[in-house]
Structure 1
Amino acid sequence: MSTSQPNMALMVVPQGHGSLESYIQAVNSIPMLSVEEEQYLARQVANGDIDCAKQLIMAHLRFVVHIARGYSGYGLPQADLIQEGNIGLMKAVKRFDPDVGVRLVSFAVHWIKAEIHEYVLKNWRIVKVATTKAQRKLFFNLRKSKKRLGWFSNEEVNTVADELGVTPKEVMEMEARLSAQDAAFDLGPDSDDDESSYAPALYLEDSGSNHAEVIEAEDWEDQSQRRLTAAMNTLDERARDILKARWLDEEKQTLHELADKYGVSAERIRQLEKNAIKKLKAAMEG
């Protein structure tokens, strides 16, 4: 078990498109943990080992990025969403019990999403009122221009539009937004079915996929690929070449083609292939 010090600077998400892309590339390059490594580190965390907690966090930063992408399109910086998700990941690592029988990524999804939800909740009103630079300018200027309660008359709308250099339609739309009441983010205890369909918490994230299932599938595929590569390296060069030619190459070769290549019978190639597969399976299960 490696005890190398992780690069904790990656836990702070940088601002700016270029730096954010560099951050995402960096966290995606951090190797994922096997089940055994994850359980070992989690048990060390339970004993107060901070370095092991850092390693668990670093190995799962890529999953926070994956989840945060499901909340794009609401006028909130992607870097901020990721940063909030990282806080949720830290809380999950602190509370994770490896003996329950689930992977950390499945357990952490709840905590990551909870922090992102909280962040969006705090910023929900301004997101709904003004999402562009022009709208924000109109929003603040319109608040100063509106001296009384009640709706503008047509004359007042035209006057404000001339003063602010916008169209009357934009003024009326912003006035409607300013007059709107804040919507409840979560369902209330007495909410009925009709009300529940409008709760932002239900449609805020991308519901097209189950984050836990997608992340677990990606984790499983990556682990399987690593184990397959390691298992292939236990075979001799001829066995690796036969398996590669018969199963992995885009243009697969026949037994007779390989028999001609190695100067043996097709039956001998079949036996070598069978033995190689048997060894490969044993290595991957070991």
Structure 2
Amino acid sequence: MQAQNAIVSAYVTGVLTPQSADILAYSAAIKRFDLLERDREQQLARRWQERRDPKATDELVTSHLRLAAKVARNYKGYGLPIADLIAEANLGLVIAASRFEPGHGARFSTYALWWMKATIHEYILRSWSLVKIGTTAAQKKLFFRLRGEMRKLAGQAAVLTPEIAQAIADKLEVTARDVVEMDRRLSGDLSLNICVGGEDGSTEWEAMLVDGSPDAEVIVAEHDEALLRTRALRTALVVLTERERRVLEARRLAEQPLTLEQLGCELSISSERVRQIETRAFAKVKRATILAARAGNTATAE
């Protein structure tokens, strides 16, 4: 009896690990705990609420360990250790026992079931992928229901077609894109070190990935080029008269360029005259910029 109590206590507190836990011994140990009557559940819950008596929650938990193990076994299909699943279900059971409020008419098993599923779901989502998955309510719903909905619509050999994706999206109140993305993520993580191609001369997948972003040399070269052009432009603006500079800045360098009419009114000249000044100023700046850029390149080379 003491050995059985030790097994149950260790499992509820999470001391046992998948390597050390004896599932058969644990299953046999929890069978001796009988389910409680409604009145007894209410009595224990009141003892915890009023006096914080740990023996009350212990009795609530141990009387429902068989239910926790049953709930955990429903998630064996996710390929995770059954010992870990049972431990997570027991954690939910402990949380439920500490928060169960008597007097609402619900059985403890009904209340605890939600907590057991919640802790198991969180564990599965944490363990499923190296990439964080199921961060929103919609993603969590898709994660746990997508495969089942696909089997309902397409049978055991379920293939996600656009029509099936849209039907699932409508039923689960998500977008078809969310359905497609979750289907891909449920396929699992792929290692960058897996070999692709034939046996001879096979190459790791990582070596075949192409990075479209510019490398450091290109970034530095583009930065230097932009800096050189900026300096050349500032030097070129010196060749303009005050009116030419005003027209060029208002027409070519402003975020919201002024119209010819607006500048004509400002400078008390016609729109055509503004256009002529703009054309002449742009030509002068272009010529001066080219000369300044060449001088800068020559100085850099030296």
Superposition TM-score tier, normalisation by shorter sequence: 0.3 to 0.5
Normalization by structure 1: what TM-score?
A: 0.44
If asked which structure has higher relative contact order (CA below 8 Å, sep 6+), I would say 1
Normalization by structure 2: what TM-score?
A: 0.42
